[in-house]
Chains A and B, each alone.
Chain A
Amino acid sequence: MGDAVPQLLVNGIALGSAYALIALGFVLVINAVGAVNFAQGDLVMAGGFVAVIAGEALTGRLGGGSAWTGVLVLPLTMLAMAGFGLLFSLLAYVPLRRRPPVSVFISTIAVGLIIQHAANAGFGPEPRIGPALIQADALRLGPIALSVQQIAVIGAAGLLIGLTGLLLTRTQLGRYLRAAAQDPEIAEALGIHGARCIAVTFALAVALAGAAGMLLSNHFFVAPADGGLFMLKAYIAVTLGGWGRLDGAALAALLIGVFEVVTAAYLSYVVAEALLYAALLLVLLVRPSGLLGETIQRRT
């Protein structure tokens, strides 16, 4: 067991990093429109399939076998998914923006189902394998073997999380987005176009979901029915981290990934799952505002 511990930790952190990307997009939408985007898991799945298509197309053009195909596929997937995010906001949010948040989250469930069935109709039910971010053999350090792909996933996810943080805190666009999310009416009065900000937020959230989908699609495959799992993990991360807290969601997602893998290794998957839900219940009982505290009070 001892030799496998480093790889188990790497796997846990890689899984948690992907969960963090999903949870970040989830929180961005909650903060922007006050409603949960229940299609987030299906958007991750859609990102995985976009990566499969982009990977196959690039492999054909690059002559196949390029170790760096995945590095090109990641931004392409994010770009395509950002565009899809704009379309998603037009379909699932804009027509209902003046309705209570419950209307929005119901519409996201509907769009999520449509995405899932469209993937099933278009690609078939079987899992597909996405491109590896970096094609390389395992890194061997004596008896310890570390997956380069998993390390690359951690690096890419960390970079994207960092860039998202910088975008939101250090740029004018980020300030507009946060202002429109915090108080849309005051933001409008100050000349900030709220609807555009919300559309950009959806684009960013869906791009992050797409990135997570791409990063997961090689090691874990991607299938039309995968969305529900990712959605559940993101929801738990957001609840544990503090409703509306970007840093809380990312931290909780990372902890969930490591907790799942390590507990499954030393106990079992069933125990890991049971303990995760027990921890969720405990946090809701003892600290309902989450580990880092809530930033918004509206829950839907």
Chain B
Amino acid sequence: MIRRLAIIAAIAASTLSPCAVPFGPALAEDAAHFPILVPITGFIAIEGTAQRNGAIQALENAPEGVKVTYEVSDTSTSPEVAVTALTRALERGKPVAAAASIFGTQMLAMAPVAQRAGLPLITVSGTAKLTELGNPYIFRFFPGDAVVKVAHARYAVEMLGAKRPALLYQTTAYGQSGRAELARILEGLGAPLVFEEALAPSVKDMLPALTKLQASNPDVILLHLHSGPTALAIRQAREAGIDLPVVAGSAMHQPTTAKLLQPSQLKGVCAESASSPISESDPKLTAFTKEFRTRFHTEPDAFALAQHDGINMVLAALKDGAKNAEDVRNWLAGHTFEGLAMTYKSDGKGNMAHDALIICYDGNSLVPAVAKRYHNVDGVL
């Protein structure tokens, strides 16, 4: 009976969870193969799902003459699952590149495996350390903390006039990396943090942190949290009567995050991001957004667009004659690519994105407007 139940459970789980069985078009000998190794369950599933959707949209629109196959594997939230998914993808064939997790903790675990296998990882993870490992197979298409945190801090100080910023950040690798960059940049701008606290992604009641934050008498709240915690922090701050301006991390630009809040709660809320597809009027971007909505029945965000651009750059390499993973790596490292969100070029470490922007909500709508663009922040282009 136990065996029968186990079989039923396994079938049900494999039907419902891509973690158990990859899905996508069947592998073909003459096609370039792309594993998509992203977290589509767990606390970072929103971002991972956006990655998956962006990658799929790019692959489904591969340029003429480039044949591709792909498979999606859920990396969930643990490094072990991510490494297993990558190892399995490598055993199943000879991929030319992989779309890899936004979750920095998983990327740090996958990076050495990819390096040994010679497989380029196309990621949107912001964790700064990722491109400081000397690993030539990491290509980051979302601006790293060294870029977006400059925009984050500069907007708070230069545009909002903040002198006493307070920060809530996540205990994850993502959170600690962003916290280190923000603290360093703010110090340089003459506005050091007056309060900071790390929150685990599981923290639900943020009033204790907000109470201490308020007691430190800040003039702006900086958030560097994942999607759900960002919405919780803003909502609970507004309910507690804390009406300070908020400059949040990129999670706040996501339509799914904004949907959890009332427009009035978003008054005075801004966020850094690489892009904001729903805020743009450029015809190419609106076409991307329209197709994305039709295909996935949800709004695209900057992570989806960055992953889409990253995969498109790999497809451009294939179109240009790259035959295998090593060719693709070399092409990515040596070429400049005009994506939908921005121009991408490696800084020699795999950082491909160098622009950032700040979006702000007006308190009447859940669609933000672009408030300021920061081009070529690190001077690579």
Contact = CB atoms under 8 A, between A and B. Distances in A.
A114 B212 contact: no
Contact of A264 (B9, B16, B209, B215): B209
A114 B202 contact: no
A64 interface: no
A280 interface: no
A11 interface: yes
B42 to A, nearest CB: 5
B40 interface: yes
Interface in B192-250: 197-200, 202-205, 207-209, 211-212, 214-215, 227-228, 231-232, 239-241
Contacts of A160: none
B2 A96 contact: yes
A96 B231 CA distance: 42
Contacts of A12: 205
Residue in B46, B202, B260 whose Cβ sees the most chain A Cβ within 10 Å:
B202
A205 B209 CA distance: 33
B13 interface: yes
A118 B14 CA distance: 11
Interface residues of B, number: 46
B41 A116 contact: yes
B41 A224 contact: yes
A118 B16 contact: yes
A277 interface: no
Contact of B228 (A110, A114, A219, A223): A223
Is chain B's binding surface mostly helix, strand, loop or mixed? helix
Contact of A125 (B12, B16, B48, B214): B48
Contacts of A285: none
A102 B319 CA distance: 56
Interface stretch (A188-196, A245-253, A266-274): A266-274
A229 B232 CA distance: 16
Given A95-B5, A107-B5, A220-B204, A127 B231 contact: yes
A121 B349 CA distance: 37
A127 B230 CA distance: 11
B332 to A, nearest CB: 29
Contacts of A129: 260
Given A117-B17, A220-B232, A261-B207, A124 B298 contact: yes
B2 A99 contact: yes
Given A1-B212, A99-B1, 17 more contacts: A1-B215, A8-B208, A96-B5, A110-B6, A113-B13, A117-B41, A118-B16, A121-B16, A128-B260, A138-B239, A223-B43, A229-B204, A261-B208, A264-B209, A269-B197, A269-B199, A269-B200
Interface of B: 1-2, 4-6, 9, 12-13, 16-17, 40-43, 45-46, 48-49, 77, 171, 197-200, 202-205, 207-209, 211-212, 214-215, 227-228, 231-232, 239-241, 256, 259-260, 298
22 contacts: A15-B204, A114-B9, A120-B16, A120-B17, A121-B16, A125-B42, A125-B46, A125-B49, A126-B46, A127-B231, A145-B240, A221-B228, A223-B45, A225-B43, A229-B204, A261-B207, A264-B205, A265-B212, A268-B197, A269-B198, A269-B208, A270-B200
Interface of A: 1, 4, 7-8, 11-12, 15, 95-96, 99, 103, 107, 110-111, 113-114, 116-118, 120-121, 124-129, 138, 145, 147, 216, 219-221, 223-225, 229, 260-262, 264-265, 268-270, 273
